Structure 1
Amino acid sequence: MRILLVDNYDSFTYNLYQHLSELGAEVHVRRNDQFVLGDVAAMDVDGIVISPGPGRPADAGRTPDLIERFAETCPMLGVCLGHQAIGEVFGGRVVRAPRILHGKISSIGHDGRTIYRDLPNPLVATRYHSLVIDPAS
């Protein structure tokens, strides 16, 4: 499986790189302002992972353009800023979280489908965020 990993200038990108590689993916890392959309199309990737990063989606270089271009043709997973960018491109509003969570461990329930298949339910995750997508948007 070929994965494009968009680096939003965050050190956690290489944690994602390591995990994806351990799962057998061929991972290609590109900084958010150092790729051309046509070149991404030519890479013929099976999926796109968009990393965390500082700031808001508007600060994420070409990431919003990438999401718009490939949303219909390529599966995407956004982590933190990447998730916020996907939400914003599809009309969501990024707002300050009602409760800032930095390094907090949470128990998260899920439906056991798609990316959650074969994971414990609930699963335990460490959360780092101060911004969220407004559920009302």
Structure 2
Amino acid sequence: MAKTSLIEHNGEGVFQGLNNPLTVTRYHSLVIDPPTLPSEFNVTARSASGEIMGIRHREWDLEGVQFHPESILSEQGHQLLANFFETVIFSCY
């Protein structure tokens, strides 16, 4: 079952130009346990309850989110995906 969550983000990478806070869609309750997050990653987004919802590698163009931007319930999901292509995929060329 889909659930929407309000997240706050740092406005960088895939989150550039997006509303803050941002409503996103989750289909599960999986989250990163903060003590297990490798030091090579920065937290880029959190839910209102403090759960990690986005991370980015400190040196590489490697970024991930813990929600479904492609869902119709996710606010500005298409823009987040466009940002992904611009900042992560196209930086490889």
TM range (shorter): 0.3 to 0.5
* Structure with the higher fraction of residues in helix conformation: 1
Q: Compute the TM-score of the two structures, normalised by the length of structure 2.
A: 0.37
Q: Which structure: larger Rg?
A: 1
